[in-house]
């Protein structure tokens, strides 16, 4: 068989396998419940990825920690702003503690996500969809049909891209109460963080909020089942986040890593804390002052690992033009990115496999 014909057959077989997985509408959890002992071929990472993996070591260091206790006190706030500035420039990641959200709210949300994903498949299938315009949708692998390998996770997405409000009866009953409380509290935290980030850029504290950066939220609730072959697949492939900012809550099973100085660094779970990371859109409007860092989630033989990421994506409708912030531009610091809308960037980002940043597609050739 010629190389071209073999590739065509392999591609056709892969598409059949992907469709068979999709048609179950039961996700990765459904595979595990069926009693599989090895992962299907569609989840096995390309050989090039596995070779690249062997070329990177791991450093036993931790991301910066920002303690928000006393943020209303002028001198403490200045110190917090300074730490956030350094973390956003050097890492693109930091952990926040003493943020004011009760531990019960966090634990109830994680438990609600677990209960949703572990209920009967028929219940989950009521929310199954690949329509990203739907307010509440369940599925597995947003890039299933164009990725090099599927990731070992399922997701429930609660989208507030086009509305600031959601009613409890729009949500799965099993987590509606915990989700509403969590959404309200994390939204407030997000607004506080945007104030701090504005000040970290030497702007007025409400600058990023006035741009609408705190609007357009999406809460993506991931469920990573235990994997029989964790070395062959990924929980989430390496990528940068497209929005302005991500607030991540993770349970007590690790796997999240950030890429820095050619090394993968573990971001260990710490109960009651949030992981904050800069997104591509904030890197663009800050004109590369803040950086969006590559990160990933390892598959694990134990589980489930549960997390919920709140993405602040800005104003999508009506279309708002974003560009590098004028106050950050000078003769010495020229604009690095062209104008864009949230839809421009998101459509470009999601037209590629996860892991392909869209930043270069919007970068000006100065």
CATH superfamily of 12-362: B-lactam Antibiotic, Isopenicillin N Synthase; Chain (2.60.120.330)
What confidence tier does 58 reach under pLDDT thresholds 50, 70, 90? low
Helix (H, G, I), strand (E, B) or coil at 80: helix
Has residue 173 got a pLDDT over 50? yes
- Token representation of residue 292: 């969006």
Phi, psi of 58 (to 5 degrees): -135, 135
Q: What is the mean pLDDT of residues 45-51?
A: 75
In this prediction, residue 351 has a pLDDT band, given cuts at 50, 70 and 90, of confident
Give 175-195 pLDDT, tens digit per residue: 999 999 999 999 999 999 999
Q: Answer whether 175's CB lies under 8 Å from 164's CB.
A: no
pLDDT band at 51 (very low <50, low <70, confident <90, very high): low
Give the CA distances from residue 154 to residues 5, 93, 174, in Å, rounded to whole numbers and listed in that order: 33, 24, 17
Three-class SS of 6-68: HHHHHHHHHHHHHHHHHHHCCHHHHHHHCCCCCCCHHHCCCHHHHHHHCCCEEECCCCCEEEC
- Say whether pLDDT at 108 is over 80: yes
Helix (H) or strand (E) holding 152: none
Contact 235, 299 (CB under 8 A): yes
Which tokens belong to 165?
Answer: 């409000």
264-289: pLDDT as tens digits? 999 999 999 999 999 999 999 999 99
Query: Which is nearest to 223 in space by CA: 121, 350, 149?
Result: 121
Give pLDDT tens digits for 63-90.
999 999 999 999 999 999 999 999 999 9
Q: What percent of the chain has pLDDT over 70?
A: 94
Under the banding of pLDDT at 50, 70 and 90, the label for residue 6 is: very low
The CA angle 14-20-24, to the nearest 5 degrees, is 150
Residue 356 pLDDT > 90, yes or no? Answer: no
The yes-or-no verdict on residue 330 having pLDDT over 90 is yes
Q: What value does the mean pLDDT take over residues 116-138?
A: 94
Residue 230, pLDDT above cutoff 80: yes
- Measured between alpha carbons, how far is residue 327 from residues 94, 149, 264, 290 in Å? 25, 42, 34, 15
The fraction of the chain above a pLDDT of 90, given in percent, is: 84
Q: For the purposes of burial, counting CB atoms within 10 Å of the CB of 350, is it exposed (0-12), middle (13-18) or buried (19 or more)? A: middle
- Which residues lie across from 307 on neighbouring strands? 222, 250
Residues 6+ apart with CB under 8 A from 337: 284, 287, 323, 324, 359, 362, 363, 364
pTM for this entry: 0.94
- Per residue in 232-263, pLDDT (tens digit) is 999 999 999 999 999 999 999 999 999 999 99
Looking at the DSSP bridge assignments, the partners of residue 94 are: 276
Residue 54's pLDDT band (cuts 50, 70, 90): very low
Confidence of residue 50 (pLDDT cuts 50, 70, 90): low
Q: List 297's β-bridge partners, or say none.
A: 236, 256
pLDDT at 329 over 70: yes
Residue 349 has what pLDDT? Answer: 83
Task: Note the pLDDT of residue 347.
Answer: 86
pLDDT of residue 1: 46
């Amino acid at each position: 068989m010629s190389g071209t014909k073999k590739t065509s057959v392999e591609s056709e077989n892969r598409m059949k396998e992907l469709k068979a997985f999709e048609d179950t509408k039961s996700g990765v959890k459904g595979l595990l419940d069926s009693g599989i002992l090895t992962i299907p071929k569609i989840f096995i990472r390309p050989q090039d990825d596995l070779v690249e993996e062997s070329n990177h070591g791991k450093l036993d260091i931790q991301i910066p920690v920002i303690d928000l206790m006393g943020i209303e006190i002028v001198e403490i706030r200045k110190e917090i702003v300074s730490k956030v500035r350094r973390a956003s420039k050097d890492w693109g990641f930091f952990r926040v503690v003493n943020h004011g959200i009760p531990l019960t709210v966090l634990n109830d949300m994680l438990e609600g996500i677990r209960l949703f994903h572990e209920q009967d498949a028929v219940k989950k299938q009521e929310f199954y969809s690949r329509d990203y315009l739907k307010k509440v949708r369940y599925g597995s692998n947003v890039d299933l049909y164009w990725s090099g390998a599927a990731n070992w996770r399922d997701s429930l997405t609660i989208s507030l891209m086009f509305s600031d409000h959601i009613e409890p009866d729009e949500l799965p009953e099993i987590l509606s109460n915990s989700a509403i409380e969590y959404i309200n509290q994390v939204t407030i935290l997000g607004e506080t963080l945007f104030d701090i980030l504005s000040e970290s850029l030497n702007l007025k504290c409400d600058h990023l909020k006035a741009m609408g950066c705190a609007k357009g939220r999406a809460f993506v609730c991931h469920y990573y089942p235990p994997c029989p072959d964790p070395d062959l697949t990924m929980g989430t492939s390496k990528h940068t986040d497209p929005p302005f900012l991500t607030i991540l809550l993770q349970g007590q099973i690790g796997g999240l890593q950030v890429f820095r100085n050619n090394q993968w660094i573990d971001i260990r779970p710490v109960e009651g804390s949030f992981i904050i990371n800069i997104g591509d859109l904030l890197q663009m409007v800050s004109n590369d002052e803040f950086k969006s860092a590559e990160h990933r989630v390892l598959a694990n033989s134990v589980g489930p690992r549960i997390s919920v990421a709140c993405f602040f994506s800005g104003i999508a409708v009506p279309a708002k033009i974003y560009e590098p912030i004028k106050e950050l531009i000078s003769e010495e610091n020229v604009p690095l990115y062209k104008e864009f809308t949230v839809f421009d960037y998101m459509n470009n980002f999601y037209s590629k496999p996860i892991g392909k940043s869209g930043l270069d597609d919007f970068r000006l050739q100065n």
